[in-house]
Structure 1
């Protein structure tokens, strides 16, 4: 990509194709924006045959920024629907779970056992071994509440 002309433009378009294929193989919704930027730079290099390498790199950087900003805006305005919106939010998935107090909750603070891990917890005082329900998650701390005891009328 040293200089302008059809050779450099073709290399940019090949790079765009490779980035597009990489996005298909390793989906991350990011390489596609770089592929678009490379394609636009390739088109500009074909049209402006004597565009120097610095101009090509500046074009790629500019178009990369523009396409990433457009993509971020697009995904913010049109989020992807999923069957499991909490898939990558482990803490939020814990809400409603019943856990066991590992270190007594004393003065409102303690630790609870969740599966094979232990999390900091906040809630009413409870001795170790008490089963509690996760009510919410506040900055990595599980806010717990005692299990309701149901009695028949």
Structure 2
């Protein structure tokens, strides 16, 4: 299969590695880089040993699994520190905020205004205009309580 191209097999693996590395930059997900590393190593092994196509694909598959596993394990043991751990957790960012009821909370459910948005809220019954504090969030709903 690799012999239909006018390049030697190791160059095809290295080009694939470059394509996967570029794809990782364009479509960040921190997954393709490990597959690209496996392709690069497969190219180097092919260059040094001259192994045939079936063995190249076996080496690539094995290295891909090993690289993805090693990368995921390393990041699990060494998490990236962030200055804003709640960046992608909108509801958690709202805990402690003061909100205003815009649709009466009746039967435990209503709507509250948070800045320029309106959220579904659960909590003790409260009429329109009541100011409450967000004490938690679950399933995209704010849990509110009376102000102290």
Report TM bin, short chain.
Answer: 0.7 to 0.9
Partner Cα separation in structure 2 for residue 115 and residue 60 of structure 1? 52
User: What is the SS of the residue equivalent to 2:96?
Assistant: coil
The Cα of 1:147 is off from its aligned counterpart by 1.3
Runs of 5+ consecutive residues of structure 2 not aligned to the other structure: none
Aligned length: 145
TM-score, normalised on structure 1? 0.80
Q: Which residue in 2 is equivalent to 1:85?
A: 85
TM-score, normalised on structure 2? 0.82
Q: Which residue in 2 is equivalent to 1:147?
A: 147
Query: Counterparts of 1:44-123 in structure 2 under 5 Å?
Result: 44-52=45-53, 54-123=54-123
Aligned-residue Cα RMSD (Å) equals 2.3
Q: Which residue in 2 is equivalent to 1:151?
A: none
Residue deviations 1:85-134, cap 9 Å, x none? 11111111111111121221112221222233322211111112212111
Q: Which residue in 1 is equivalent to 2:9?
A: 8
User: What is the SS of the residue equivalent to 2:8?
Assistant: helix
Partner Cα separation in structure 2 for residue 37 and residue 68 of structure 1? 9
